[in-house]
Amino acid sequence: MIKIKRCSLLVIGSVVLFSLIITLSSCSGGFAGSGGAMATGTVLINLSGSSPSAIFSVSSRNAIPWPPNDEGNYILDKIDFVITLTGGGGTKRFEAKGEENIRAAVSAGWWDVNVKAYYPDKNTLYAEGNDRVDVKAEQNNSVTVIMNRAFKDDPFEDDPATTYTVTFNANIAGAAGTTAIQTHTIGQTQALTLNGFIREGFTFIGWSTTAQAIGSTPTYTNGESVSDLSPTAGSNVTLYAVWDFALEAGDPGPGGGIIFYVAPAGFTVQMVNPADNYTAYYLEAAPSDAPNGAPATLVWIPNTSGVYNDVLGTSEAIGEGRKNTALILAAVAGEPAGAPAANACNIYDSTNNWFLPSKGELYEMYNFHAAYPGLIPGLTAFYYLYWSSSSHSVETNFAWVQDFDTGTQEYSDKNGPTWVRPIRAF
């Protein structure tokens, strides 16, 4: 009788081992043949094993429990075993499922025992073991077959039949950085990739399975251990970053100035090339008037300029100031006098993308100043009129200014010296 009585799992270095204790029994019995009577017996192969929860446990992300499981349920009955006995002048081969009993005949003497275990696809070999046993007549004979299996050859590791991918979406315009795609295995727990996205002015607070608004409650925290985000092999799960505002009006801004406007829903920053448009949530006033380090009143465009009346396409709304500034500078390209107000903003700190604010943006700066006087440095000193980047739509030799004393907006001759405060949008 051959009986696989027990399975146990060991971990040695990078190899998973589990053992099958096989009992072979041979009983006296004769049969006709040239050699006369021969000791024979009944072969019983019992692949039922023991309780998987007790013997098939291993603490390693790369070590698949034996036997493999399907959504947490052990499937020993689905495993394909091939047992080959070589001895007694011949070879006997048996195929069986886990928990199945097989009966055959075996003679006394030396037998080489080879056991192979396959995943349910019947093609992927999970483990293999070999040993040799001397089968004695009329007594039980046991042999322990060590089944060897390497971690690195784990067919479940990147097998699309048992894995799914997790991709990460920044879920906010203007984000920098990346977060690496992961491969997860169904039935296993794995830590999510740590967030690699960065967004100026925002704090990352976790991941959600759907795109959520800023400040929402995340489903998963950064690096949280998860399992079975998808029950479907070969599928993809997208997790969306959840953000919260890191700044509010009155806070110091990343450019060294003061945040004076926050738009929870965001606004579009218009660029000369529409493909370069981006979404911003904050407006920041520069820490001082322009020119940086030596504030002074500046003209919009001198009346000696050949394009004094020809700057076209400027607008007044929030989000238009950066485009306006670029249009002004492009219009005076080649003009010796240039556009002092716009240029002073453009070179105020080029790494932070300062620009001359639009009429609407300048008005929001006034609103903040009126509510919190003194928080934006310098606005209470000297003169109260400040240039916008918005040219008057009819009186083309005029541009809009903001009075920081009365709150009114009026238009002024472009050749008139007026104060300039750069801003940036992010």
pLDDT of residue 334: 75
Q: Which CATH class is domain 163-245?
A: mainly beta
| Burial of residue 285, with CB atoms counted within 10 A of its CB: 0-12 exposed, 13-18 middle, 19 or more buried | buried
Look at residue 51 and give its three-state secondary structure: coil
Residues of the chain with pLDDT under 70: 1-78, 98-105, 120-122, 139-141, 143, 147-161, 306, 309, 336, 380-383
* Structure tokens that stand for 192 in this block: 């999510």
Q: What is the CA radius of gyration of the chain?
A: 39
> What are the residue ranges spanned by the domains of the chain?
2-153, 163-245, 258-425
Q: Find residue 27's DSSP bridge partners.
A: 40
How many Å apart are CA 254 and CA 247, to the nearest integer?
A: 10
How many Å apart are CA 58 and CA 191, to the nearest integer?
A: 18
CB atoms within 10 A of CB 52: 18
Per residue in 372-419, pLDDT tens?
A: 998 998 886 556 899 999 999 888 889 999 999 899 999 999 999 999
Residue 384 DSSP class: -
| Burial of residue 10, with CB atoms counted within 10 A of its CB: 0-12 exposed, 13-18 middle, 19 or more buried | exposed
pLDDT of residue 111: 83
What's the pTM value of the predicted model, to 2 decimals? 0.60
CB atoms within 10 A of CB 165: 16
DSSP letters, 221-270, are -TT-EEE-S-SSTT-EEEEEEEEEE---TTSBPTTSSEEEEEEEEEEEE-
End-to-end CA distance of the chain: 79
pLDDT of residue 151: 41
Tally of helices (H runs) and strands (E runs) in the chain? 4, 23
pLDDT of residue 107: 81
pLDDT of residue 114: 86
How many Å apart are CA 409 and CA 341, to the nearest integer?
A: 18
pLDDT of residue 162: 86
Nearest to residue 279, comparing CAs of 190, 348, 200?
A: 200
